[in-house]
Structure 1
Amino acid sequence: MKKRVICLLAALCIVLTGAAWAVDFQDVTARHGMVSSAHELASRAGVEILQKGGNAIDAAVATMLALNVVEPNASGIGGGGFMVVRFAATGEVVFLDYRETAPASATKDLFASEQAKAEKWSVLGGRSVGVPGQVLGMFTALEKYGTLSFAQVAEPAIRLAEEGFEVHPMQTGIIADNFEKMAAYNDLDRSAFFEGGLPIEAGKTLRQPGLAKSFRLLAEQGPDAFYRGPLGEAVVASVNASGGAMTMKDLQGYAVKVGEPVQGSYRGYQIFSTPPASSGGTHIIQLLNIMETFPVSSWRHNQPQHLHTLAEAMKLVFADRGKYMADTAFVNVPLRGLTSKEYAAKLAGKIKSDAVMVDVEADYPWTYDNQKAMAYVGGTDDQHISTSHFSVVDAKGNIVASTNTVNYFFGSGVVVPEYGFVLNNQMDDFSSDPQSVNAPEPGKRPLSSMSPSVVLDPQGRPFMTIGAAGAWRIITAVSQIIMNVVDFGMTMDEAIEQPRIFTYASGGKRGPLRMEDAIDPDVAALLEWRGHNVEVQPRGGYYGTAQGILFVDGVMHGGADSRRLGVPVGY
């Protein structure tokens, strides 16, 4: 016992000296409007629309389209996503769900066979493609809340697609990493992403005339071009030619959901985020509720007590996510229980400062919910690192947070010929277990972790808009960023750039405690000594890539993740 105490004190002395880690934190500031996205050219496209008199919703659609051009691997009209909008005039917050849905051909056992697993049906080719929702999501947002036409907001993206942009080495690397699946489903000689059968080189100009043609068709014909016209016919043909079974009826039956976000609070700050079919908002609130019971601000940031408690809380949250979270159109989910302060206090009581949980079962949030308890099998296969988030604020103070995806980088690997957009492989976010409530069914939305969020200060004023890419790590990244600002007083960019951790529980057992190598190695050693199964990894997109805007004394402060090519732009 004496030896253990001496070792602990020695380790603490090492930890308190801190690690040598330096990043150039630099908020971009503006007073009139701002867009923070994963690529500077997309941010500039959104700001261009703001400067032409568009509102935040107009700019959001412009940014979304431009991201399709400059990050075709991560999001686009072949995918789907979520949007949270706060209106300055009324304070109302609305949620738009244009997540992909399973086609009518989907069955619960679609991915259960050994053949399906061996041939990776859920991630490669036509069987992996969900019915895309982003096009109808954009038009719904514009028609309900925008001030400009689709043709007007699409102008910057069409220009980018036709004139092209310089390819970054990171983008060449992503294309190269996905060469095999792209080659399996596309004629590389006709692909904009390849030259002479090889990935387009960094420094070259990437032009996408097919994508520009798609946007022009949408400007001329509206969403019918996609759901009833030539774009949709091309989607169906591409899906079916690559092993899937989709029909025009699947596209014609797609609907956007408009409703209320999930709500919670952290130390008096109000949080508005995504309800199911995203698990993200609910479990961000749950994680922050647990952490709210601890004196986080009195701890040293990213030091042992802070990271130990945070890791234990993450395990409890993901244990519940795996058991209870699903599409609420198909099953009752105890959302009130999962976001209850009382339930969080119960879970926090399981966290011990001197012990590490190895066996981590889901608890029972039904006690704190007003629905009849249900027993069911949860589960999801959400493990990718793709997706793209952006945040927008206009001169009137309207706020948009939006996260969009084609799931894996380059999705299913299928690029629609002639029109140049990537088709998602969102069907992989369903469970391969036919008994799971997250098994594929016609019209069901697969479970997501995307969490575009808006945060108000204790006086009800806009405080932050934040979101991230990175599958399960979206939940943990957004939570850590919010705590970095609220508990540790960081600026927006400083909060985003901090090294992060991630862990989870699944099947009743803990996962590894993964942490970026920018965290003090002595902290990692002490956590491992304490009993955590630590895995140190290089700093990168695995831990989520975030973009956000923080309001400080009426000034917008933008931050964007250097783990991606993120850049905020304001005026």
Structure 2
Amino acid sequence: MKNIFTKNVAFGFSLLLLFLINSVNAQTIAENGMVVSDNVIASQVGVDILKKGGNAVDAVIATAFALEVTHPEAGNIGGGGFMVFMKSTGDVTTFDFREKAPLAASPTMFLDEKGKIKDNSNHKGLLAVGVPGTVAGLYQAHQKYGKLPWADLVRPSVDLAKKGFTMTYGLYNAAVRVSDNDPSEDIMKNYFRGENGEIVKPGETWKQPALAKTLEQIEIHGRDGFYKGVVAQEIEDYMKANGGIITKEDLEKYEAVEREPVQGTFNGYDIYSMPPPSSGGVALIEMMNLMEEANITEIEFNSTAYVHLVAEAMRRAFADRAEHLGDPDFNPEMPLDKLLSKDFAKKRFENLDLNKASISDPAQYGHPYGGDHTTHFSVVDKDGNAISMTYTLENSYGVKMGSDKLGFIFNNEMGDFNPVPGQTTSTGQIGSDPNLVAPEKRMLSSMTPTIVAKDGKPYLVIGSPGGRTIINTVFQTVLNVLAYDMRIDRAIEAMKIHHQWLPDMILYEHNLLSPDTRDALQKMGHTLRPTTNIGVLMGITYDASTKLYTGASDSSSEDGGARGY
């Protein structure tokens, strides 16, 4: 009896120790598949699809719809985004379902008679809403590469919305903040409230019956359940009644696009990311080329030399981004081959002073605006298919408007266009031609879903929300893994900085950059500003020797988590 008791205690202690180690390490290890997202419920939905025989595409679709229910801050059917898909064969493709400007849009649509932006209308109000692309993108990916029936992938989110799920403290805190700050009579006023009229408290069940009905239309009718029929009609009616310009014609004409990825290399690894209208992939590869040119592996991580070099690479990539990039369907002459080349990085590196900060000149080239909240998730399946997907409403809870009959929130992505033609300022407003508003044009994005391959197989699947900081957050995490051999959770948690060319400053995470380094950087001519947190990364790595996936979610995501099997 004593021996059994002793063994049980020892076994229990081992389990507790394993739990504590995993908690501290913030890693999840699995053999057959992995989903890492901003909400553990959504991650589990994706893993359940993998267990039922679905592939990575199926799991991504199910996770994306589940995030609409569980992570409404950024999970969406009222927004858009990008997907990078590496097949088990090593082939890579991408899906662009970025929002589009409505047919009634124009380059000066946000300006008053004096040529000034009127009432922040490119970010607030229904003029700021782009034609949503998420449902079209997910449906297109499913039609070409999905394995399980479409309805099986949407049904879990219908059930989550209809039956409800337990309100978390993280979501509750956001609900209180949003409800208190929204004086309108629109959707946010009652969005988080239960039948008693009170905000649903932690531990209570939050149900979304209107959203469930919308998702049921998508479940039954696929793409047409959103872009035609009763949902499309209600979108048009709501827009007309509240000052918006999106019509049923806009919705019916919307199409997602499958595009070739942008590709680069770094020290023997292959990097695949999203092409324009995302600027993230081009900027990421340009910066990795600069790091290779600088032989970054010889520079100590987090040293003054490291931070300076990384900031200068960011400055140059963001300047090139603003000068050249936009919707490829409207900018066929974009010099992508040049921007992605090693020769271009070599020339860019020639004017980089290792001892002095460069000067950002708004008269020469610039940077578009980006919002502050998006969500990313990474998925791999047992066959080695991998997907990195980022989608967004732009700002947190988008435009904070939507029809109570439909139950979802619209994006405010029109703010990603350059709002005043020809006007570029030192504060970060850009007026260059490639990203001006035009009917049916996709606005430039910072989203950077990325897959790094080794020997033709996925090695790192990574991405992040964060608006303008996304590109640099992903860049530094990729650099941490490839150049500094950090394991995924530590690469995600390591100190991050952000420089976007204009305004000319380094944003850094408070308490993670030493005072001595800050002083040294300021003496080199850098301006620094602290912030609480940069990015909310969701990543997966694969160890070919053990054949195991390791997933990690950023600790700054209160409800996020990795799930595998």
TM over 0.5: yes
Q: C-alpha distance in 1, partners of 2:188/2:493?
A: 37
- State the match for 1:425 in structure 2: 412
Q: C-alpha distance in 1, partners of 2:205/2:398?
A: 23
Deviation of 1:197 after TM superposition, in Å, equals 6.5
Instruction: Tell me, yes or no, if the aligned pair for 1:161 and 1:211 is still in contact at 8 Å.
Output: yes
**CA 1:193–1:343: 2 relative to 1, 3 Å:** farther
Deviation of 1:171 after TM superposition, in Å, equals 2.4
Q: C-alpha distance in 2, partners of 1:185/1:283?
A: 41
Q: C-alpha distance in 1, partners of 2:204/2:316?
A: 47
- State the match for 1:11 in structure 2: none
Deviation of 1:470 after TM superposition, in Å, equals 0.8
- State the match for 2:436 in structure 1: 439
- State the match for 2:296 in structure 1: 296
SS of the equivalent of 1:54 reads coil
**CA 1:87–1:317: 2 relative to 1, 3 Å:** same
Deviation of 1:142 after TM superposition, in Å, equals 0.9
Listed one character per residue, the Cα deviations across residues 515-542 of structure 1 (whole Å, up to 9, x for unaligned) are 442222332232223321111222x2xx
Instruction: Tell me, yes or no, if the aligned pair for 1:47 and 1:569 is still in contact at 8 Å.
Output: yes
Listed one character per residue, the Cα deviations across residues 165-224 of structure 1 (whole Å, up to 9, x for unaligned) are 233333233334433774425156753457876654444332111111111111112211
Deviation of 1:274 after TM superposition, in Å, equals 0.5
- State the match for 1:44 in structure 2: 44
Q: C-alpha distance in 1, partners of 2:495/2:309?
A: 16
**Relative to structure 2, which stretch is displaced further, 549-558 or 183-192?**
183-192
Superposition pairs of residues 143-182 of structure 1, within 5 angstroms: 143-179=143-179, 182=182
Q: C-alpha distance in 2, partners of 1:344/1:83?
A: 26
Equivalent residue for 2:492, pick from 479, 493, 496: 496
Structural RMSD (CA)? 2.1
Deviation of 1:245 after TM superposition, in Å, equals 1.2
Counterpart residue identity of residue 522, structure 2: E
Q: Does 1:470 align with 2:466?
A: yes
Q: C-alpha distance in 1, partners of 2:50/2:458?
A: 19
Instruction: Tell me, yes or no, if the aligned pair for 2:373 and 2:467 is still in contact at 8 Å.
Output: yes
**TM-score, normalised relative to structure 2:** 0.89
Q: C-alpha distance in 2, partners of 1:294/1:25?
A: 31
**CA 1:424–1:193: 2 relative to 1, 3 Å:** farther
Q: C-alpha distance in 2, partners of 1:276/1:189?
A: 36
Instruction: Tell me, yes or no, if the aligned pair for 1:315 and 1:360 is still in contact at 8 Å.
Output: no
Q: C-alpha distance in 2, partners of 1:359/1:94?
A: 35
- State the match for 2:10 in structure 1: none
Structure 1 stretches lacking a partner, 5+ long = 1-22, 364-376
Equivalent residue for 1:415, pick from 375, 393, 402: 402
Q: Does 1:559 align with 2:547?
A: no
Q: C-alpha distance in 1, partners of 2:436/2:201?
A: 40
Equivalent residue for 1:530, pick from 524, 534, 538: 524
Q: C-alpha distance in 1, partners of 2:118/2:198?
A: 27
Number of aligned positions between the proteins = 528
Instruction: Tell me, yes or no, if the aligned pair for 2:85 and 2:387 is still in contact at 8 Å.
Output: yes
Instruction: Tell me, yes or no, if the aligned pair for 2:188 and 2:400 is still in contact at 8 Å.
Output: no
Deviation of 1:555 after TM superposition, in Å, equals 1.0
Structure 2 stretches lacking a partner, 5+ long = 1-22, 423-432
Counterpart residue identity of residue 279, structure 2: S
Instruction: Tell me, yes or no, if the aligned pair for 1:385 and 1:544 is still in contact at 8 Å.
Output: no
Counterpart residue identity of residue 381, structure 1: Y
Superposition pairs of residues 96-115 of structure 1, within 5 angstroms: 96-113=95-112
Q: Does 1:388 align with 2:384?
A: no
Superposition pairs of residues 306-385 of structure 1, within 5 angstroms: 306-331=306-331, 332-360=333-361, 380-382=368-370, 384-385=371-372
Q: Does 1:456 align with 2:447?
A: no
- State the match for 1:93 in structure 2: 92
Instruction: Tell me, yes or no, if the aligned pair for 1:546 and 1:560 is still in contact at 8 Å.
Output: yes
- State the match for 1:514 in structure 2: 508
Counterpart residue identity of residue 351, structure 1: L
**CA 1:340–1:195: 2 relative to 1, 3 Å:** farther
Q: Does 1:286 align with 2:286?
A: yes
- State the match for 1:231 in structure 2: 231
**CA 1:192–1:205: 2 relative to 1, 3 Å:** same
Give the share of equivalent positions with the same residue, in percent. Answer: 35
Counterpart residue identity of residue 501, structure 1: I
Deviation of 1:313 after TM superposition, in Å, equals 1.0
